Amino acid sequence: MALRYENEVNEIVGYDENGVKLACVQFPAVNSDTVDVEHTEVDPSLQGQGVGGELMEQLAKRLRDEKKKAVLTCPYAQHWFDGHPENKDLVAE
């Protein structure tokens, strides 16, 4: 199932074709150039299908576009960024 991703304030949300929210990553601002990736959620019916990774790709693109860095308090986000060293420049030190 292909989701439609939308950028919300401090969140990226994945919707199905009926507009039902099935996935999200939440990242409130820490300051003007840093966000805290604190929560990733995928509907149980979609787990294991790469949706979490798609959310992280969307997040990485948004961080680059907005020239921001991320603090990773969400365990899934930490795991994903650890496995994608090409995006390590987006992680706040």
pLDDT tens series, the chain, 93 aa: 789 999 999 999 999 999 999 999 999 999 999 999 999 999 999 999 999 999 999 999 999 999 999 999 999 999 999 999 999 999 998
Structural domain span for residue 59: 4-90
End-to-end CA, the chain: 36
Model confidence, pTM? 0.93
Distance, CA of 4 to CA of 90 (rounded, Å): 24
Total domains present in the chain:
1
Domain CATH for 38: 3.40.630.30
- Nearby residues of 52 by Cβ (< 8 Å), 6 or more positions away: 23, 40, 42, 76, 80
